[in-house]
Structure formats: C-alpha cells, structure tokens
Amino acid sequence: MTENIIGIDLGGTMVKIGIVDPKNGILKKDEIETKIELGFERVVERICQKITEIVDISNVRAVGVGSPGSIDHDKGIIKFSPNFPDWNNVPLKAEIEKHLRLSVFIENDANSAALGEKWFGEGKGKDHIVVLTLGTGIGGGVITHGKLLTGNTGIGAELGHMIVDPHGPICGCGNYGCLEAMASATALIRYANEGRKRFPESKIFELEKQRGVLGAREIFDAYRLKDRLATRIFETFVEAMSVGITSIIHIFNPQVVILGGGMSKSADLFIPKIREKVDMRAIPSFLGTFEIVGSKLGNDAGILGAAAIALENL
C-alpha cells in the first residue's frame, strides 16, 4: 500500500489540503475557503469533496488534520476552537471518516507544527524539540524522547501562556504578561498603535501607509531602518522571547527550539539577539546543549504538520 498521506490545515478563513509523501514532502496541494457560516457538516463535506477532486483516495493511507483549539485527539473531537465559535464538541474525525472511508487523526495545530518539524523540518533526526509558532497568537508544541508531550487531558504545552512578566499587559486568556501578550504579532501591533501620538513620524506608519497594512513585518522592517519606536518594540519583543525561551530550555532541555509561524520570516533579524540574551540567562550547564533556529517549512508548515499527525499515529 502506498504511504501517501492527506494533510489538512484547518483554518478559520482557509483550509489548505496537501497530498504528502513521507520521504519527498508535498506532492500536490490546494486550498478552499472555510466558509464556517455553512455549518460544521457542510464545511467537512466541502473539504472531502475537494480532496476527492485532487487525489485518488485509493492511493492514500490516512488523513491528518491540524486544527486550532482544544482537541480530544483520542476521540477526534474538537472540544472548542476560537476560530470556529459554533464547533463545540464536534466529531471531526468521525465526520471525515464517514465521507472518505480512511483513518483520520486530529491534533492541535501547534502540536502538529512540532510533529511537522520532527518529520520534515529542523527537528528531523532529533528526539527533543520545542516549537513556538509566532503569529496572531503564540502556540507551542513539545516533543521529548521522540514523543509528543500533551499532558493529562491532552491540552498541555500552552507555551504562549507562560507568564514572562506578571506586571505586563493583559492577555486574551485573562492573565497578565503572558508571552503571547508581549511577543505575538497582535502585541507588537498594539505597541505600535500605543506609540502613534508620541512617534507620529515613525517609519512604521510610513510603511503602513505605503502597504495599506500594519503588521509585525512593518515593525521589523522599520527596525532595520533604525526607527526609534520600532527599536523599542523590537527590544520588548526580544526581552519577552528570551525570558520565555530560557524557561523552556530549563524545563524541557531540548536539542532545538524552532521558531515558526508568520513572524519567523524575520527570524534572521531576531534570533541572534534572542540567543544572546538566552545565553546570558541560562544556567551554565545548559549552555551549548541547544540551538534556536527559524522554521524553514514556510507556507507548507500547516499541511506537513497535519500529515505528520497521521504518520506519527501510524
């Protein structure tokens, strides 16, 4: 039987689908709008229709799905997801299996990112891996002794909600000073908007005007131009990340910490600065035992991570 896997990267706006060979990576990929307003069953039906359009499923071994939110991976249920407000305790595994007659495996998207790095990325050949996905929020996935660490009820490794400054800004989770509240793209944008009055001439806002968008990229690009506000934001970001990563290293003793997600496109800019501060903070016995690197999976990370969920279970 062929070893090909279908990887489904389930997002609130788009669903990315890929046919993945374990040795050669993505063979074919496509995407569709999620259209969550159609309801759970219709969304799943459309995804399965697209799969049958792009591949002969008789040549597929299994399906992996990476989804945001709290996942019961044993039962294949999405318990709760902020991207799918009406999907409470929905049987995603059973619904896809009904349409495709294939084994389906489901996992949280940050955990799937960790598995994707293990099978296809910077974690290949390593047994102790931590992945942080840096984007609108910050997700985390941990692999130790070659196995995904999920905790007592399967929702462990919420690394974005480590508190790195108890006096820091409020987080969406309700706590103060979480890594996500201080170093996500959402946090960086908030810092920029807070600085508008004091730094109206900032290159951040010039770039925003030129591009019609304000995101982490505009802030990092302004930092490259030595902009004052961007430098302040960048230093706050690096400080929070270095505190969080130092704790991760002390707790998990990984071989590698991999920074993925949309913000990792600027990894060349911030990883050397983070590494410098982590080396200052880490207990001496940990020095030289780990790497901090950016993910190289890019836009394919979600599909490869989803496929890796199935590969891991098989």
* Residue 261: count of CB within 10 angstroms of its CB: 23
Residue 62: per-residue pLDDT: 95
Are 191 and 75 members of one domain?
Answer: no
CA distance 301 to 116: 7
Residues 212 and 308 in one domain: no
Q: Which two tokens stand for residue 88?
A: 């409470």
* Same structural domain, 61 and 167: no
Query: For 181, which DSSP code?
Result: H
Please indicate, yes or no, whether residues 161 and 184 belong to a single structural domain of this protein: yes
What pLDDT score does 172 carry? 85
| Residue 213 CB-half CA count within 13 A | 7
The pair of structure tokens assigned to 198 is 């004091």
What per-residue confidence (pLDDT) applies to 136?
87
Q: Which residue has the tokens 């792009």?
A: 54
Q: Based on the domain organization, do 75 and 100 belong to the same domain?
A: yes
Per-residue pLDDT at 156: 83
- 158 and 105 inside one domain: no
Q: Note whether 190 and 159 are same-domain residues.
A: yes
Do both 99 and 132 map to the same domain? Answer: no
Of the candidates 277, 293, 201, 174, which has an alpha carbon nearest to the alpha carbon of residue 234? 277
> In this predicted structure, what is the pLDDT of residue 2?
59
- Residues of the chain scoring pLDDT < 50: 1
Residue with tokens 């999976």: 297
- Whether residues 59 and 171 share a domain: the answer is no
Give the CATH number, domain containing residue 281.
3.30.420.40
Q: How many domains does the chain have?
A: 2
Distances (CA, A) of 73 to 8, 48, 84, 90, 155: 15, 20, 17, 12, 10
Q: What is the CA radius of gyration of the chain?
A: 20
Residue span of the structural domain in which 104 resides: 5-116+300-313
